[in-house]
Structure 1
Amino acid sequence: MIYFIIPLLAAVVLYFLVFKKDAPKRFTDQPQWHEPLLTHVSFYKKLNDQEQKVFRQRMSGFLNETYVDAVGFELEELDKLLVAASAVIPVFRFKEWSYNNLSGVIIYPENFNENLGYADHHSDRMISGLVGTGRFEKQMILSRTALYQGFKNDTDKLNTSIHEFVHLLDKIDGQTNGLPEAFLDKSYILPWMNLMHQEMEAINNDKSDIRSYAATNQAEFFAVTSEYFFSRPQLMKRKHPELYKMLELCFNPQLKKIV
């Protein structure tokens, strides 16, 4: 009997050490998040019951892997929930996703300047969110005011936190260049570039309802139009059908072609 048990135990140990390590991660559902998400996150509200459960599990996974901290105020539960929701929304249709290029999110009470100070309102440029580089590599810094505003008002097509998470997706291939090559089939990259530059020209000529910041460069175009896509999908589908279809293909890998 002992000769049978030892190989069995060895097989179990091998499974957990080798195979279980590579198995998809499963995170505990947090049903207590349901009501605040219903109240604040319109994307979540549109999901069915099973999808909402998966959404909460994905949020739990994100918060398990990523720390969220605050500067200048005491962090609240809703702060963390909105950050996690922002992380999950762009990748919700992916089979599984971890932000390997992010270790933590730091929230400032309001917009901040280039020196990461938030008291100088006379600065030439106040920032609502950024993905860090250099000593802030793998860090995201967000304004709490912008974080809440992004979920409070969907009509303005603006969501700073989603914008910054899209930059992280863009950065997966090593370059933040507005070319989502990790998510679009190669055959769509050239059409995407052509569409992007056509729309940037329209923005510069005041012939587009996409906000002007999208014309700054390709990376900002991808992030700004993604905000629009997730905040006002039906409006984008009506006003920018080609752009909508391309972003739908990017954020929903289950789609095999643009229809």
Structure 2
Amino acid sequence: MIFYLLAALVIIFLIGYFIFKKPFIKHSPDLGQQEKYRLLLEQHVHFYQQLKPEDQQRFVLKVEEFLQNTRIEGVGLELEDLDCVLIAASALIPIFGFKEWKYPQLSNVILYPDTFNNDFKFEGGNREIAGLVGSGFMNGQMILSRAALRKGFSASAGKENTAVHEFVHLLDKEDGATDGLPEHLLPDGFSRPWLKLVHEEIRKIENGKSDIDPYAMTNEAEFFAVAAEYFFEKPEKLKQKHPQLYEMLSRIFMQEPAD
């Protein structure tokens, strides 16, 4: 009897939770909301600033769509509009060349104040993780550090953008494996040349003959994400120093940010 009573209470609790919980930003199209997004993008997102007016409008609409369909939660902090817009921009930058692309494996993004450890704690020592695409029981979730998120869109970011890096991992994962070989994005016959180029570039990093972040040497998946950061943050520099890599990434992402 007690078992059935407890089961009934659990069911009532779950029904109440799902009825009353509110995802962040869930509303009908709102021109005032769009204008708020536009202002934040103009102030903080260089990628947006470089777009043509018609593409800027499409970007704003995509930001609104992303925020309507993705839950963003703050843990240990109070979420601000800027946080949500930067997360949405990070998601859209790698896929802006694909008009209909979404992230079917992503249900929510969790924002921590700062870096965290393998136990998902953001206080104490040994906190070296700035972003993570969840797997296993965390599948469908992404964790980001607010400090790293905002730094990625600051003037001091250089070639780095942690949030873009993590969304590239998620994009890589869409073919079933986070392996640095986005087969669903590569044109036919380009998988082998891409891997050959990746290994050549990794050898250059190992020999101190490349300005690509050494973290790219970790494996092919990290190389892809690190190179994508460089591609979107400093495209002119990448095109000048690594023309073959730039050309291949422009084919993968269907974008020419240097132009």
1:71 corresponds to which of 75, 96, 102: 75
Structure 2: distance between partners of 1:190 and 1:154: 35
Structure 1: distance between partners of 2:88 and 2:79: 14
Question: TM-score, length-normalised on structure 1?
Answer: 0.84
Residue identity matched to 1:173: D
Q: Which moved more, 1:244-253 or 1:175-184?
A: 244-253
Whether the 8 Å CA contact 1:112–1:128 is kept in 2: the answer is yes
Please list the CA deviations of residues 150-191 of structure 1 after superposition, one character each: whole Å capped at 9, or x if unmatched. 000365200000000000110001000000111111311111
Structure 2: distance between partners of 1:185 and 1:164: 23
Structure 2: distance between partners of 1:212 and 1:151: 21
1:53 aligned residue: 57
Alignment of 1:21-32 (within 5 A): 30-32=34-36
Change (3 A) 1:216 1:27: farther
Residue identity matched to 2:103: Y
Structure 1: distance between partners of 2:231 and 2:113: 27
Structure 1: distance between partners of 2:70 and 2:185: 23
2:249 aligned residue: 247
Alignment of 1:182-221 (within 5 A): 182-221=184-223
Cα shift at 1:84: 0.3
Gaps of at least 5 residues in structure 2 are 1-27
1:92 aligned residue: 96
Cα shift at 1:119: 0.8
Please list the CA deviations of residues 86-122 of structure 1 after superposition, one character each: whole Å capped at 9, or x if unmatched. 01111111121110010000000000011110112x3
2:117 corresponds to which of 103, 113, 116: 113
Structure 1: distance between partners of 2:91 and 2:232: 12
Residue identity matched to 2:104: N
1:236 aligned residue: 238
Q: Which moved more, 1:34-43 or 1:229-238?
A: 34-43
Please list the CA deviations of residues 116-137 of structure 1 after superposition, one character each: whole Å capped at 9, or x if unmatched. 10112x31x5100000111110
Change (3 A) 1:173 1:200: same
Cα shift at 1:198: 0.3
Structure 1: distance between partners of 2:192 and 2:150: 36
Question: TM-score, length-normalised on structure 2?
Answer: 0.84
1:22 aligned residue: none
2:106 aligned residue: 102
Cα shift at 1:32: 2.3
Whether the 8 Å CA contact 2:180–2:223 is kept in 1: the answer is yes
Cα shift at 1:61: 1.1
Structure 1: distance between partners of 2:252 and 2:80: 33
Structure 1: distance between partners of 2:144 and 2:203: 29
Structure 2: distance between partners of 1:136 and 1:27: 31
Whether the 8 Å CA contact 1:28–1:57 is kept in 2: the answer is no
Whether the 8 Å CA contact 1:229–1:247 is kept in 2: the answer is yes
Change (3 A) 1:55 1:89: same
Whether the 8 Å CA contact 1:90–1:166 is kept in 2: the answer is yes
Q: How high is the sequence identity, in percent, across the aligned residues?
A: 49
1:144 corresponds to which of 140, 143, 146: 146
2:40 aligned residue: 36
Structure 2: distance between partners of 1:28 and 1:55: 15
2:21 aligned residue: none
Change (3 A) 1:253 1:229: closer
Structure 2: distance between partners of 1:186 and 1:114: 38
